[in-house]
Amino acid sequence: MGTRILHCGKNITNYNLCIREKVAGFLQRGAVTNDTLYLAVHVNNVTYCGAKGVLGEITEQRPWDDAELYKHCLRLKDIEYCKPFDLKILSKVGGKYWQLKYIQGSKTIVDEEAIKLLETTFNSKRVDKLFEFIQPVQEEETDEGETEADKEITKKVGDTKFLEEGLKEVPDAKVNIMWTFLTINFFNETSPIRGLETLVNENFYSLFTEFPENKTFLIPHNRLFLTKGLKQNGNILPGIRSIPDALLIVL
């Protein structure tokens, strides 16, 4: 059983739907039954948490207007409410890159101090009824599922120093472009920070959900595998023979 934060961006409508319909939608797989889930939403430049619950079984229910974005959905049970509090309190234990550590991609939080801080803060502000934020018309469905942590890193994607420092502090927080509609300028294919090949290989199963992980085998970092190419009149056709970025074996 893990602890996660599900950030609904600025989409208050989706935040309220998660709670009212008792379902949580994720842009990638990873969350599992019995995980504790804190729900967050960005209002007036502040990221608030106002509810939490426990993840149940996988469901096909997707009540949101942008339902096609959510690849992995689970029921939400044992929902509790609190007076909304600013999640920036996590910077007390997570430092400058707290969003990358605890929010990006709804990852499992492994920092026990952060988990304890979330729990004690929530309990101290517990209430019986959900505080419902009002969705500003001008901000209706503008984020397309992008979390504040994603925006924080993608808006500074041109700042190499920021990326290098962030990855030293949070090694697993690679530049995440899977659900954003921003243009990312890559250095080259193989750069560990802004390399297209690296990002695609590491996030393959989230990007290409038609290939189930239990029926395929992905071999990344395989640039030793040179393709044979096709010959015409005894010569290999130009542009055909190459080194693939990865090999995917389908069982």
Q: Across all residues in the chain, what is the average pLDDT? A: 79
What global pTM score does this model have?
Answer: 0.65
CB atoms within 10 A of CB 146: 21
> If pLDDT is split at 50, 70 and 90, which confidence band does 227 have?
confident
Mean pLDDT, rounded, for 30-57: 93
pLDDT number for residue 87: 95
Q: Convert the pLDDT of each residue in 89-120 to its tens digit.
A: 999 998 888 888 888 888 899 899 999 999 99
Annotate 203-236 with three-state secondary structure: CHHHHCCCCCHHHEEEEECCCCCCCCCCEECCEE
Query: What is the rounded distance in angstroms from the CA atom of residue 28 to the CA atom of residue 25?
Result: 9
pLDDT number for residue 83: 96
pLDDT number for residue 235: 75
* Cα three-residue angle 218-219-224, rounded to 5 degrees: 155
Question: Quick check: 131 pLDDT over 50?
Answer: yes
Give the helix, strand, coil percentages of the chain, each rounded to 5: 30, 25, 45
**The two structure tokens encoding residue 134:** 């009002």
Q: Convert the pLDDT of each residue in 167-192 to its tens digit.
A: 666 665 554 544 343 445 566 666 66
pLDDT number for residue 17: 93
Mean pLDDT, rounded, for 203-225: 76
Mean pLDDT: which of 5-9, 223-227, 241-245 is highest? 5-9
What number of CA atoms fall less than 13 Å from residue 249's CA on the CB side? 6
Q: Which residue has the higher pLDDT, 240 or 199?
A: 199
Q: Report all structural domains of the chain as residue ranges with CATH numbers, in order of start.
A: 3-148 (3.10.590.10), 152-207 (no CATH), 213-250 (no CATH)
Q: Convert the pLDDT of each residue in 138-154 to its tens digit.
A: 544 444 444 445 555 44
> If pLDDT is split at 50, 70 and 90, which confidence band does 75 have?
very high
